Amino acid sequence: MFPLDLLSSSAPVAAPASPLLADLNEEQLAAVTLPAGHALILAGAGSGKTRVLTTRIAWLLQTGQATPAGILAVTFTNKAAKEMTARLSAMLPVNVRGMWIGTFHGLCNRLLRAHHQAAGLPQAFQILDMQDQLSAVKRLCKQHGVDDERFPPKQLQYFIAGCKEEGQRPGDVAVKDPDTRKKVEFYQLYEEQCQREGVVDFGELMLRSFELLRDQPHLRAHYQRRFQHILVDEFQDTNRLQYAWLKQLAGDEVGGQMRTQGSVIAVGDDDQSIYAFRGARVGNMADFVREFDVQRQIKLEQNYRSFSNILDSANALISHNSRRLGKNLRTTQGPGEPVRVYEAHNDLAEAQWMVEEIRQLVKNDGFERQQIAILYRSNAQSRVIETALFNAGVAYRVYGGLRFFERAEIKHALAYLRLLENPHDNTSFMRAVNFPPRGIGARTVEVLQDAARSAGCSLSDAVTAVPGKAGANLGAFVAKIEVLREQTQGKNLRLIIEAVLEESGLLEHYRNEKEGADRIENLQELVNAGESFVTQEGFGRDAVALPLDEHGQALRQSPVSQGIDPTQPMLDQVLPGSQPAAGIIDIDTGETLSPLVAFLTHAALEAGDNQAQAGQDAVQLMTVHASKGLEFDAVFIGGMEEGLFPHENAMSDSGGLEEERRLMYVAITRARKRLYLSHSQTRMLHGQTRFHMKSRFFDELPEEALKWITPKQQGFGTFTPQSSGGYGGGGYGGSRGGFGAKTETFASPPVPPQKAAPSHGLRAGIAVFHNKFGEGKVLAIEGTGDDARAQVNFPRHGTKWLALAIAKLTIVD
C-alpha cells in the first residue's frame, strides 16, 4: 500500500516522516517505536492492535534494527498469523518467510521437526487433533480395562491436556488422592503409547519443544541469540506452559529475574481474557512485568470502532470487575444511537424481534447483512434464531461447527494417508481398518489388539498373529495399504491423494450412499487442497524452515545463496525471489519433510477456514467467544438472562463471574454503530421451558445510554413478519463451517512448468549414494535451485526426501 523506500537503510531511527508511521496516534506511535527493551502493550478493543504489531515489525526492519531472521511473532490462531503476515507483506517488500510468524503450535512444530532427533521424535511424527486424541485415549482405556464410569475418556483427555498446559509430566503431578494417582498412571501409559506410535497431541507439541529448549543449552542459546525481537499477540490468553516456552526463547532465568539479550513485547488486554476454562492465565501479564522487569507499559485506549453509547456501556460494565490492570476506552465519535434493550416473552419472540430489527436495518438504514451479527452465549441458542431467520427468508451464516479437515470423510482419507507414512499409527489404523466396511468387526479388532499388546507391536504388525478368516481380512487390508504405498512411491501429492481415495474404496462407498454426494465433493476438495498446498502455499507456513544449526555455528553456505546476511547465522534466511522453501530440513542428513507429511501436518494444525464464506451477503451468527477480534456495524446479543449470561456454571465464584463479564465486554465492543440486547422471560432449554430473570449485567450498564423497548404486541408468538419476502426465500439453511471457498482459496492455477536443465543432474530412476543412508534409488525430483529436493528410496532406511542443497548425494554409476 505505502510505497516504501526500503533501500535507504540509513533512515533515521525515529524517522517521523516515514510513511509507515503516518496516521498513528500518539499511543500507537509510542508503541511502534519503542526502544529496545521489554514492554507490555495494553491494547483495548478496537484500538488498532494488529496495526501496531505489524507496523512495529515493519519499522524494526525498515530502520535496520532487526533482520527478518531476528523476529519471532507468535499468535494463537492461524487466522491472526495469516493476517499479520499479509499486512506485513503489504507494508514492506520483504520476504515474510524469513520471519518466524505463526501460532504457538505451528512454531513448536517447526522446532520439533528441525530438531526431531534431539526431541526424541521421528521426523515424520504425526499430530493428533482432539478427536484423534480422544480415540487414542479410548483405545487405551479399553486395553487396560479402565472403568469408564469412574474415569470417562473425555475426563482423562481433559486431565492429560491440563497437565501438559501446566508443563507437568506424569512424574510432576502432585498426587493427592487415589483417583488422581489412577489418572497419573493412565497419563503415563498414554505417553508411552504416543511415543510408540510416533504421534504427538497439541499439548505435546508445546511441552516437548519447551523441554527441548530447556534441556539443550546450545540450542537454547542459539535461538536466544537469534530472536532479538519477540512479539506476542493476545498475551492475556497464554497458559503457563506457553509463557514458560517464551521465557526459554527470551533468555535465562536467574533468581526469578530474566537475563535477556533481545526484547519481548507482549500485547494483550486483560479485560478480554475469556479463555480461563482452557488454561489461559491472565496472571502471566503481571508475571511478565515482574520477571522481565518491564519498564514500559503503553495503553492503547483510543477506540476507532464504536460510538460512545456503545463504548460507555462497555466501560461501565467492565468497571465492575476488580483485579484489572485498568483501562478506559475513549472515542472521538458522537454518542450514536442508544443501546436498544428488548424484553421478550419467549425465545421465539426474541428471535422474531431480532429478525424484524434486521429487516429494518437492511431496508431503512442501508446496513449490509454481513455487517450484522447475532451473538449468543451458548450454541444451543442458535437453533431458534436460525429458524426465525430461515422462515423470514433472511440469509444467514453460522460460525463454528465442523471444519473441513474435521469432517468424517476427510478424517478417513487422512487416516489412509497417514498409514502410508507410518503404519504404526494405530489411531489411523483403527479409523481406516473397517471403513469402508470390509468385514472387520469389533470382535476381530479386539483379537488384533490383544495380539498387538502381547507381542508389544503395532496393530499393523500384529495382523499376522490373527488366525482364520478374520486374520485374512486384516491381512488383505494391510496388503492394500502396502500396495498403495508402493504405487504412490515417487508420485506427487495430488496423485497420492487421488490414489488413496480410489483404492481405499472411500469414493466407491460414498457413491453408493444416498447422502454421499456432499462427501464425495469434499473428498474432491481434499485433492484440490493437496494440490494448492504444494503449488500455492509452498508447503504451508508452519512447515517451512531452512537449515538449522544444531551447534550454534554458522552453517555451510548453500551454493547458490544470494542475499544471505553473513553477519547472521544462516537460519531460515530466505533467498529473495526464490521458490518456496523445501520444508524442514535436518541439517545432519539433509532430509526434508515429504510433501505428504507436510500436508498432513497442515491438516492437523489448521483444521480449515471458518470464515471462508464470510463474504456472503448473510447475517453472521456465532457465540460470543467466536466473535472475539471481529467487528460489525450492528450487533445483537440475545439471551441476556441470569443463568445463561452470566452462565449458571460460572456464577458461583467471583472469578467465573468476572470472566462472564469480560465475555459481555467483548460482545459489546464488537459493535460499531448499533447494539441490541435482549432477554426472554421463558426459554426452551434442554427440552424444558425455563424461566429466567434478566441478566444482572443490565444493572451495570449506564441507564442514559440505553433505550428499553417493550413488545409491540402482547401474547406469545403472535408476531407476524409483514413484508413481502415471506417464506423460505433464502434457502440458506445452516451451511455450517466448511472450506466453502472453492473458487477462491483453492482455485488452482496451472502447475508451473518444470524448469529446464537441472544443475544437480539427478533424475528419477538413477542410483545415488548418501553419507548416512548409503545407496538408494531416486524416485522423484521436485523444485529447482536451492529448493530442489529428491525422493530417494534407501533399502535400509526407507524413502526420504532430501534437500539437494544440503544433502551430499553422489551419483552411482
Binding site annotation covers 70? no
Cis link prior to 646 (omega < 30° from 0)?
yes
686 scored as a contact of DNA (CB under 7 A):
yes
* Binders of DNA in range 238-277 (CB under 7 A): 275, 277
* Interface residue with DNA, options 240, 296, 424, 625 (CB under 7 A): 625
Element (H, E) at 134: helix 130-143
* Binders of DNA in range 180-219 (CB under 7 A): 202
Selected catalytic residue, list 204, 234, 586, 641: 234
725 scored as a contact of DNA (CB under 7 A):
no
Selected catalytic residue, list 27, 28, 33, 49: 49
Provide the mask over 355-394, with x wherever binding to DNA is found by CB under 7 A and - wherever it is not: ----------------------xxxx--x-----------
Give yes or no for a contact between 682 and 346, defined as CB atoms under 8 angstroms apart: yes
**Closer Cβ to DNA, 550 or 659, answer by number:** 659
Give yes or no for a contact between 118 and 216, defined as CB atoms under 8 angstroms apart: yes
Binding site annotation covers 43? yes
**Closer Cβ to DNA, 379 or 579, answer by number:** 379
Tell me the torsion sign for CA atoms 30, 31, 36, 39. Answer: positive
**How many alpha carbons lie under 13 Å from residue 17 in its C-beta half-sphere?**
3
Task: Tell me which stretch binds DNA (CB under 7 A): 87-95, 219-227, 437-445, 743-751.
Answer: 437-445
**Closer Cβ to DNA, 472 or 560, answer by number:** 472
Tell me the torsion sign for CA atoms 383, 388, 392, 397. Answer: negative
Residues 6+ apart with CB under 8 A from 590: 770, 802, 803, 804, 805, 806, 807, 808, 809
Can you read off the three cell numbers belonging to residue 808?
551430499
Give yes or no for a contact between 204 and 194, defined as CB atoms under 8 angstroms apart: yes
437 scored as a contact of DNA (CB under 7 A):
yes
Task: Tell me which stretch binds DNA (CB under 7 A): 480-488, 518-526, 617-625, 789-797.
Answer: 617-625
* Beta-sheet strands, E only, within 590-687: 591-592, 619-623, 632-637, 671-680, 682-685
Strands 100-103 and 339-344: unpaired
Binding site annotation covers 332? no
* Beta-sheet strands, E only, within 123-240: 126-128, 199-201, 229-232
Binding site annotation covers 46? yes
**Closer Cβ to DNA, 380 or 706, answer by number:** 380
Smallest CA-to-CA distance from 497 within 580, 581, 410, 436 is with 410
150 scored as a contact of DNA (CB under 7 A):
no
Cα of first residue to Cα of last residue in the chain, in angstroms, is: 54
Smallest CA-to-CA distance from 192 within 167, 168, 166, 169 is with 169
Beta bridge partners of 46: none
Binding site annotation covers 50? yes
Q: State the Cα–Cα distance between residues 398 and 733, nearest whole angstrom.
A: 9
Task: Tell me which stretch binds DNA (CB under 7 A): 192-200, 572-580, 632-640, 646-654.
Answer: 646-654
**Closer Cβ to DNA, 106 or 393, answer by number:** 106
Smallest CA-to-CA distance from 357 within 381, 385, 382, 383 is with 385
The yes-or-no answer on residue 670 being catalytic is yes
Q: How far is the CB of 348 from DNA (least distance, A)?
A: 12
The yes-or-no answer on residue 786 being catalytic is no
681 scored as a contact of DNA (CB under 7 A):
no
Beta bridge partners of 671: 632
623 scored as a contact of DNA (CB under 7 A):
yes
| 506: Cα separation from own chain's centroid | 28
Alpha helices in 613-758 (DSSP H): 624-627, 654-668
**Closer Cβ to DNA, 443 or 712, answer by number:** 443
Q: How far is the CB of 463 from DNA (least distance, A)?
A: 13
Task: Tell me which stretch binds DNA (CB under 7 A): 264-272, 314-322, 683-691, 718-726.
Answer: 683-691
Q: How far is the CB of 743 from DNA (least distance, A)?
A: 23
Q: How far is the CB of 724 from DNA (least distance, A)?
A: 28
Tell me how many residues contact DNA (CB under 7 A). 47
Give yes or no for a contact between 592 and 780, defined as CB atoms under 8 angstroms apart: no
441 scored as a contact of DNA (CB under 7 A):
yes
Strands 39-43 and 71-75: unpaired
Can you read off the three cell numbers belonging to residue 13?
531511527
Q: How far is the CB of 439 from DNA (least distance, A)?
A: 5
**How many alpha carbons lie under 13 Å from residue 193 in its C-beta half-sphere?**
24
475 scored as a contact of DNA (CB under 7 A):
no
Binding site annotation covers 47? yes
* Interface residue with DNA, options 18, 444, 460, 492 (CB under 7 A): 444
Task: Tell me which stretch binds DNA (CB under 7 A): 93-101, 253-261, 431-439, 779-787.
Answer: 431-439
* Interface residue with DNA, options 79, 169, 324, 690 (CB under 7 A): 79
Q: State the Cα–Cα distance between residues 121 and 809, nearest whole angstrom.
A: 25
449 scored as a contact of DNA (CB under 7 A):
no
Q: How far is the CB of 239 from DNA (least distance, A)?
A: 9
The yes-or-no answer on residue 272 being catalytic is yes
Amino acid (1-letter code) at residue 34 = L
Residues 6+ apart with CB under 8 A from 754: 784
616 scored as a contact of DNA (CB under 7 A):
no
Selected catalytic residue, list 224, 260, 272, 791: 272
Q: Hey, which residues are catalytic here?
A: 49-50, 233-234, 272, 670
Using CB under 7 A, list all residues that contact DNA: 76-79, 103-106, 129-130, 138, 202, 275, 277-278, 377-380, 383, 400, 434, 437-444, 470, 605-607, 610, 622-623, 625-626, 647, 649-650, 656, 660, 684, 686-687
Binding site as annotated, residues for ATP: 43-50
